Structure 1
Amino acid sequence: MPSVVGLLEERERGARQRVEVLREEADRVLAELRDAELFWERFVTAREVLAEVLAVPGGGADVEETAVPVAENTASTPTPTPTPTPKGGTVPGSVVPVRGEGVEVSVLSPDYQRIVGVLAASQAALACGEIASALGLERVPAKIEGVRSKAAGMAERGWLVKEPSGRFTLVPGLRGGGS
């Protein structure tokens, strides 16, 4: 008959082996997650750059004008030419207009208006995670990065101020209600 201590040691050994297997699997999953996040960040960056290019006054028209002759010149060539600005352009509300005299918050898409509203209600600059929470979003990297992307675009176009700490606040004189 086996001893109680021997049985406990056997079960402990089995549990330890299971923990080691799970740790290895967790390490593998975390490494895969890091790779997937890096891959995803490339798309976020590409989308931001595309939105910037399309938001530049006259920038989109220049691209379309240069794309037409290229397509005409290569019409006899079977290789497809990517079109930088297809019909329909960007997703509605994805490009933030440049803020200027007389431009009101109401020109922004609802998502951007909500960010302005959260910052208007705050007494201090907010980090993107705090903005995401105030918007009722989960505090997960994908949601926070979406808020960061929107806030950065708004800062580049004069709606928000991005502090060196990475926090955002409204530009002086902007109110969240529609001005």
Structure 2
Amino acid sequence: MTSVLGLLEAKETAAREVIERLREEADRIVAELGEAEERLERLVIARETVAEVLGGPAGARRQAAVNGADAVVAGVMVVPCRREGVSARVLPEDYQRVMAVLDAEASMGGVRARALTVALGREEVPAKIECVRSMAKRLVARGWAAEETPGVFTPAAVSKEPSAAA
């Protein structure tokens, strides 16, 4: 006859094995997701570059003197790193609009890319949402915005702690 403790130990061991297997699968999925997001960002940048070369908006061009030496080129839009005393007015117009929405929605605990896309007046389709998500992530990387919860963006000033991505 099997003891109750023996049965519980067997079920506990089985549960631990399931948890370990699921953790390994989650790690694999997170790694694949990261690679897919990087591919997407490169494609968005490539599309922005091609659009500019083919006659995109002239407002996308920024002078390097305005943005400083630590500006980073994203497509052809130069998105400078945030530093003390620099306002969001140095950002390209589209990024200024993203920051305005983030500032307006800061009290709501942050904005997801889909809601940000709608707030910017863009069509709610995957391509537009991913473009806006890429812009928000670029703002996070440059210190203008924060992403404390994956996929939820806030202005950096509302952030509880500085973004590790900057």
Normalization by structure 1: what TM-score?
0.48
2:147 corresponds to: 162
Shift of 1:165: 2.9
Normalization by structure 2: what TM-score?
0.51
Structure 1 CA distance, aligned partners of 2:158 and 2:150?
Answer: 22
Structure 2 CA distance, aligned partners of 1:154 and 1:128?
Answer: 13
Shift of 1:166: 1.3
Unaligned 5+ segments in structure 2 are: 1-35, 47-66, 160-166
Of 34, 40, 44, which aligns to 2:41?
44
Larger radius of gyration: 1
SS of equivalent residue, structure 1 residue 163: strand
Instruction: Return structure 1 stretches of 4+ with deviation > 6 angstroms.
Output: none
1:152 corresponds to: 137
Q: Please tell me the residue identity of whatever aligns with 2:114.
A: G
Residues 1:47 and 1:144: Cα distance change in structure 2 (over 3 Å): closer
Shift of 1:47: 5.8
2:89 corresponds to: 106
Structure 2 CA distance, aligned partners of 1:167 and 1:127?
Answer: 5
Unaligned 5+ segments in structure 1 are: 1-38, 50-54, 61-88, 175-179
Shift of 1:169: 0.2
User: Superposed, which structure 2 residues align to 1:83-122 within 5 Å?
Assistant: 92=76, 94-122=77-105
**What do residues 117-158 of structure 1 show as CA deviations (whole Å, max 9, x unaligned)?**
111111220000000000001110100010011110100010
**What do residues 16-59 of structure 1 show as CA deviations (whole Å, max 9, x unaligned)?**
xxxxxxxxxxxxxxxxxxxxxxx9x836325659xxxxx9x689
Structure 1 CA distance, aligned partners of 2:78 and 2:121?
Answer: 23
Structure 2 CA distance, aligned partners of 1:145 and 1:151?
Answer: 10
1:128 aligns with 2:131: no
Would you tell me which structure has more strand in proportion to its own residues? 2
Shift of 1:163: 2.2
1:68 corresponds to: none
Structure 2 CA distance, aligned partners of 1:172 and 1:139?
Answer: 28
Q: Give the count of matched residue pairs.
A: 101
Residues 1:148 and 1:106: Cα distance change in structure 2 (over 3 Å): same
Structure 2 CA distance, aligned partners of 1:111 and 1:59?
Answer: 16
**What do residues 55-97 of structure 1 show as CA deviations (whole Å, max 9, x unaligned)?**
9x6899xxxxxxxxxxxxxxxxxxxxxxxxxxxx8754x2310
Q: Please tell me the residue identity of whatever aligns with 2:41.
A: V
